[in-house]
Amino acid sequence: MAFSRRELFNNAGFGLLLLPALLRSPQTIFRHLLFDPEGPLVSPKPIPINPFTREGRSLVSIVYGTDPRRMLMRAVELLGGIDRLGFRGARVLLKPNVLNDQPPPSTTNPLVVKAMADMVRANGAAEVVVADGSGIIRLPTSANLTSTGMRAAVGSVGARVLALEDEPWVRLEPVEAKAIGHFYFSRPVYEADVVINMPVIKTHRFAEFSCGLKNFVGAVHPRYRPSVTFWSGDWHERIAEINLAVHPALTVADGTTTMIEGGPTSGTPAKTNLLICSGDRVALDLTALALLRSFGKSSKLQGGRIGDQRQIRRAAALGLGIGFGRGIELVTEAVDPAPPAFFQLVEHIRQDLLDS
């Protein structure tokens, strides 16, 4: 695997960031980084059929607005309706990005997650869980769930929250995985009847960008996260391969506020007031990547085709979703009066997808 000098220094810098974690909390972070957890060996689940397609193309909805509940309802309707997700009687797990204790776009907007939890409840789910594992040097997750307002927001509609580093694990050894080999993954996420992926859209200093694929890093045991093996040069491929552990029925990307430069913990925010939804996490990531490129702020994302981005290319090769823009159909709407910039953004995304 080619590994540029620039990547070497950037990733080495991240490795140095791990050192404070070892000093700050030896009873928790140190233990997570040094020792494997216990957990049974399980088989990767088969990749399900995307419930939201039209004439063989993956549907991706983009909705503009100011009310997350109305935006979410319309985004799912544009895909084909919530009935296709099979919530009735199911244990449904929502996986936001609660990287740290900071507001969006470092973390997923709690109002977006609340709207999804309420919708799931209203459609007959037996249980709704909101769960994540924060960044290694930002643990414990439990405190972050409180500080970000996530616990209060989703608790108000009857969902319970989990800090995944405190929960059991399962071990996976996917035969298709070449970069990561084996890893431990959150048992509650693996065992949920329905998983809804709820990332925030942002640039990322080391992984280039963070959205649907990257969001499941938070469900991996800290010892097996790509950041811990920064020297290997296959960060992107590891991100893709951990997605063999879980197959979300729906991905809802929070673009109410988008991080367009820097990241993942802090950077330049833009108030974009949109949600992107799809049953295909790779198609959604292509769309989110095109959105980020439209701002022209992150040099790592400029140039080339979005389908060549390494996370996306590896995920598509694994069969996790559509890895080229012509296999995607965008459906868009503004539920509130939208500025011309929204429609210009949509056209930029369409063109970038066509060129991918």
Sequential DSSP letters for 1-25: ----HHHHHHHHHHHHHHHHHHHH-
| Burial bucket for residue 108 (CB in 10 Å: 0-12, 13-18, 19+) | buried
> What does the alpha-carbon distance between residue 186 and residue 173 come to, in Å, rounded to a whole number?
14
Residue 3 is predicted with a pLDDT of: 37
Contacts for 331 with CB less than 8 Å, ≥ 6 apart:
59, 60, 61, 62, 78, 79
> What does the alpha-carbon distance between residue 278 and residue 73 come to, in Å, rounded to a whole number?
13
Residue-wise pLDDT tens for the chain (356 aa)?
343 444 333 444 444 445 555 555 545 666 666 678 999 999 999 999 999 999 999 999 999 999 999 999 999 999 999 999 999 999 999 999 999 999 999 999 999 999 999 999 999 999 999 999 999 888 899 999 999 999 999 999 999 999 999 999 999 999 999 999 899 999 999 999 999 999 999 999 889 999 999 999 999 999 999 887 666 678 899 999 999 999 999 999 999 999 999 999 999 999 999 999 999 999 999 999 999 999 999 988 998 999 999 999 999 999 999 999 999 999 999 999 999 999 999 999 999 999 98
Q: Are 325 and 307 spatial neighbours (Cβ–Cβ below 8 Å)? A: yes
Which helix (DSSP H) or strand (DSSP E) does residue 76 occupy? helix 68-79
In 3-state terms, what secondary structure has residue 56? coil
Residue 236 is predicted with a pLDDT of: 94
Amino acid identity for residue 165 in this structure = E
Tokens, residue 218? 């938070």
> What does the alpha-carbon distance between residue 257 and residue 43 come to, in Å, rounded to a whole number?
37
Tokens, residue 183? 């890893």
DSSP H helices in 200-268: 212-215, 235-242
Residue 36 is predicted with a pLDDT of: 85
Domain that holds residue 30: 5-354
| Cα dihedral 315, 244, 135, 25 in deg (nearest 10) | -150
Q: Are 261 and 298 spatial neighbours (Cβ–Cβ below 8 Å)? A: yes
> What does the alpha-carbon distance between residue 275 and residue 68 come to, in Å, rounded to a whole number?
8
Residue 26 is predicted with a pLDDT of: 44
Domain count, the chain: 1
Whole-angstrom CA distances from 251 to 19, 60, 96, 129, 290 are 33, 10, 10, 16, 17
> What does the alpha-carbon distance between residue 304 and residue 253 come to, in Å, rounded to a whole number?
24
Which helix (DSSP H) or strand (DSSP E) does residue 333 occupy? strand 328-334
Amino acid identity for residue 63 in this structure = V
Contacts by 53-56 with C-beta closer than 8 Å and gap 24+?
Answer: 53/279, 54/329, 55/329, 56/327
In 3-state terms, what secondary structure has residue 221? coil
| Cα dihedral 297, 149, 72, 58 in deg (nearest 10) | 60
Residue 339 is predicted with a pLDDT of: 96
> What does the alpha-carbon distance between residue 145 and residue 171 come to, in Å, rounded to a whole number?
26
Contacts for 152 with CB less than 8 Å, ≥ 6 apart:
110, 146
Tokens, residue 106? 């470092």
| Cα dihedral 36, 39, 44, 45 in deg (nearest 10) | -140
Beta strands 169-172 and 183-186 are antiparallel
